[in-house]
Amino acid sequence: MVKNLKIGVRLSLLVAILCAFMLAVGFIGLRGMQAGDAALDTVYNDRVVPLRDLKIIADMYAVNVVDTAHKARNGNLTHAEAKKNIDIATTTIRQKWHDYLATYLVEEEKALTVQAEPLMTVADRAISRLRMILENGNAEALATFTVDSLYPAIDPVSDVFSSLVNVQIKVAKDTYDANQVLYDASRTRMIALIVGALVLGVGIGIATIRSITGPLAYASGLIASMAEGKLDIEVTDDGRRDEAGRMIRATAQIAATLKGVSVDLREMIDAAKAGALSTRTDPTRHRGEFAAQAQGVNDLVDILTAPLFEVAAVMAKLASGDVRGRITGAYDGDLRALKGNVNRSLDALVALLDEISGFAAAMAERDITVTIDGSYQGDFAAIKANLNKAVEQFGSVVREVAESTQQVAHSAGETSAAALDVSRQAADQMNTLTDVSSAIEQMVAAVGEIAQSAERGSALARSAAATAEEGQAKLGNLATAVDQIAASNARISQISGLIASIAEKTYVLAVNAGLEAVRAGDQGRGFGLIAHQVTKLAEDVAQATRDIRELLEATGHSVQTGVTAAQEARGSIRRIVEASQENGATAQAIAAAIDEQNATAQVLKDRVISLTMVGQSTAGAAEEISATMSSLTDMAQRLKGEIDRLKVA
């Protein structure tokens, strides 16, 4: 049934369902707000306001009655002022208690109010008695009454009012808890409705969207397949009566029509590929514009095949060697131009072939002065130009070869004579190199002995330098240790100064303590003995500190002397190290120079051997060159004879 509904009706149903859920959520929220407002009204009018009244009553008893009695007793208030405060308290208590009783009372409150009535009566009698005492101005009676009678009458009332305050807080808490439960229930219902609305809305929305987008996507896929040329598609009609169903059925009809036209065109194309150009389609199988297009294709094929048949006949003659065949049919438009172009191409081809034939005949007779002189266009003109240029370049090459042959013959003779001379000089050079090689071997042996002596001197210099560097390092460690001793002495001196300062302060404190002990007499005698001992101890510490300072000064002078001596010794050893290193560097430089000289001598020896081998190769190559030049002279003479037989411009 849903498939038969229009898309607009489906969307309207979805919006209506969501609106109904929104109204339900709003109604529940309004009911919850009304319940919360009623609970707040009850808490304020029946709990907060009574709590304020109870506090005022309690303050009247505590401040305007009890505290006023104390102030009147102590003289902080006059009896008239105290009487006025008591009258205010009596009126206020009566009014606020009446207001409290007019509010809604729970059972526990009612019980406490019944308990409070007689206690308040007793308190009222006590307050009246206090007022009479104040009128009489009897201070002694006021003090006695405040302590003996007023507190026993007021305290029970205060306890009951404290209980009533606790009941107000408890009832307000119960009301809050009940309202919290109501709020939780309302919130749960609202959340359930919202979740239900979301689930139902999403479900209906997804179903509605799928019922719309599914057929549209199916139809879109069919159309996309048709656009890609895939006409062999199967359309499933599920009987939908909405817009999507009608669109799918229309798409199926379009696909069937296009498929029929495509089949006919494919048959014609396959026949044409097979060479059957007489195949035609049947226009009566289609309707409307498709039938007209089928007949138009038939007419087009008829027009195109006529000149093709004539071209095929002309090409058959050309293939058999008959270049005189031409297209003679009557055509219009581009086909007429095609006819003219084919005939003109054949005319130009025949003219070019005639000139090429004459050109080839002249070349066969050794005449390379003949050229093609006809007027041609396009590729024919390029063929003419290339052939003429090739003949011209061939003639130029022949002339250059003739000249080069003459020069080669002359140069070959000269080269052969020069090669013989080089062979003789190479033999002399080999004898000289043999003598040089013997002298270089003797020099290499002498340089090797000198290099060994220089290496032993360099090793001794390096050993001396290493020993001096080790001594320098130990003196450096000694200087560092002496510096650390000096720093420790300075630190000890600071500490001894601090101890001396502490001893001095301790001495002053001990003297002051002794004076205080003298002033205290017998009671401070023991303390005086302790102060005396502390004074003596401070003097001993001060004397020890002075001894340590003198010892440290003497040690500091000794340490400074040691530092100076170590620095001077370190400088002397450093100079020894520098001299040793310089001697070692000199010895190493000498050894390196000798090694380099030895390597140079070895290289020179290798080069002499290489030169000897090169000389041998040069002598052999010179002899081969002489023989080759003789053969080249004979070849040049024969080539010159062949070139003289060609006819060149």
What mean pLDDT value characterizes the chain? 74
Look up residue 471 and give its amino acid. Answer: G
DSSP run (H or E) holding 194: helix 151-227
| Integer Cα distance of 470 and 465 in angstroms | 9
Q: How far apart are the C-alpha atoms of 443 and 234, rounded to whole Å?
A: 104
Q: Residue 171 is encoded by which pair of tokens?
A: 């009832």
What per-residue confidence (pLDDT) applies to 576?
60
Q: Does residue 310 sit within a domain?
A: no
At CA 564, angle to CA 563 and CA 565, rounded to 5? 95
**Average of per-residue pLDDT across 332-354:** 76
The pLDDT of residue 103: 86
pLDDT at 90: 92
Q: Does residue 325 lie within any of the structural domains?
A: no
Mean pLDDT of 392-414: 67
Residue 382, pLDDT score? 81
CB atoms within 10 A of CB 531: 21
Which pLDDT value is given to residue 95? 93
Residue-level pLDDT at 553: 73
Q: Check residue 544 and give its pLDDT.
A: 64
* pLDDT over threshold 70, residue 114: yes
Last residue of a domain, one of 161, 192, 219: 219
Better-predicted residue by pLDDT, 413 or 165: 165
The four Cα atoms 217, 222, 228, 230 give a dihedral, to 10 degrees, of 150
Say which CATH number the domain at 138 has.
Answer: 1.20.120.30
pLDDT of residue 292: 82
> What would the DSSP string read from start to end of 43-98?
HIIIIIHHHHHHHHHHHIIIIIIIIHHHHHHHTSS-HHHHHHHHHHHHHHHHHHHH
Neighbouring-strand partners of residue 471: none
| More confident: 387 or 60 | 60
Last residue of a domain, one of 192, 219, 246: 219
With a CB cutoff of 8 Å and minimum separation 6, the contacts of 440 are 601, 604, 605, 608
Q: Distance (Å, rounded) from C-alpha 80 to C-alpha 109? A: 37
Dihedrals phi, psi of 647, to nearest 5 degrees:
-95, 115
**Can you give the pLDDT at residue 233?**
72
Identify the three-state secondary structure at position 647.
strand
pTM, rounded to two decimals = 0.33
Say which range, 217-226, 377-386, 558-567, has the weakest mean pLDDT: 558-567
Q: For residue 339, what are its two tokens?
A: 């006819």
550: domain CATH number? Answer: 1.10.287
* More confidently predicted of 100 and 278: 100
Asked if 613 and 434 count as a contact pair (C-beta separation under 8 A), the reply is: no
Domain boundary among 201, 219, 237: 219
Res 649: pLDDT: 62
pLDDT at position 269 is: 81
Confidence at residue 378, expressed as pLDDT on a 0 to 100 scale = 77
Counting the structural domains of the chain, the total is: 2
Whether residue 326 lies inside any domain: the answer is no
Q: Is residue 455 part of a domain?
A: yes
Mean pLDDT score, 361-368: 70
CA angle, 477 then 480 then 481, to 5°: 90
- The Cα–Cα gap between 413 and 391 comes to 33
Query: How does 422-450 read in b/e, with b if 16+ C-beta sit within 10 Å?
Result: ebeebeebbeebeeebeebeeebeebeee
Q: Is residue 480 part of a domain?
A: yes
The proportion of the chain whose per-residue pLDDT surpasses 70, expressed as a percent, equals 60
What type of residue is 261?
V
C-beta separation of 134 from 86 below 8 A: yes
Q: How many helices (H) and strands (E) does the chain have?
A: 12, 0
Decide if pLDDT at 258 tops 90. no
Of the two residues 443 and 596, the one the predictor is more confident about is 596
Contact 236, 243 (CB under 8 A): no
Question: Taking residues 449-468, what's their average pLDDT?
Answer: 63
Q: Which amino acid is at 552?
A: L
Domain membership flag for residue 302 = no
pLDDT for 92 beyond 90: yes
> What percent of the chain clears pLDDT 90, i.e. is strictly above it?
4
Residue 314 lies in a domain: no
Reduce the secondary structure of 279-330 to three states and give it as a string: CCCCHHHCCCHHHHHHHHHHHHHHHHHHHHHHHHHHHHHHHCCCCCCCCCCC
Most confident range, picked from 75-79, 84-88, 190-194, 339-343: 84-88
**pLDDT of 507-522, one tens digit each?**
676 677 667 666 776 6
Could you tell me which residues come within 8 angstroms of residue 546 by beta carbon, excluding any fewer than 6 positions away?
A: 500
Q: For 180-190, write each residue's pLDDT tens digit.
A: 888 888 888 88
Domain range for 595 is: 381-643
In angstroms, the CA 62 to CA 55 distance is 10
pLDDT tens string 137-161: 888 888 888 888 888 888 898 889 8
User: pLDDT band at residue 506, thresholds of 50, 70 and 90?
Assistant: low
Tokens of 216: 């549209």
Tell me the mean pLDDT in the region 550-557: 68
Report the C-alpha gap between 211 and 78 in whole angstroms. 95
Please enumerate in sequence order all residues whose Cβ is within 8 A of that of 284, keeping only pairs 6 or more positions apart, or say none.
291
What does the pLDDT read at residue 354? 74
The per-residue pLDDT for range 270-329, each reduced to its tens digit, is 887 787 777 787 778 777 887 888 778 777 777 777 777 777 777 787 778 777 778 887
Identify the residue with better confidence: 566 or 165.
165
19 against 648, higher pLDDT:
19
Q: Is the pLDDT of residue 530 over 70?
A: no
Q: Calculate the CA 212 to chain-centre distance.
A: 43
DSSP 358-418: HHHHHHHTTB----------HHHHHHHHHHHHHHHHHHHHHHHHHHHHHHHHHHHHHHHHH
Show Cβ contacts of residue 373 under 8 Å, excluding neighbours closer than 6 positions. 355
User: What is the per-residue pLDDT across 438-458, written as a single tens digit (0 to 9) for each?
Assistant: 755 665 566 566 556 656 756
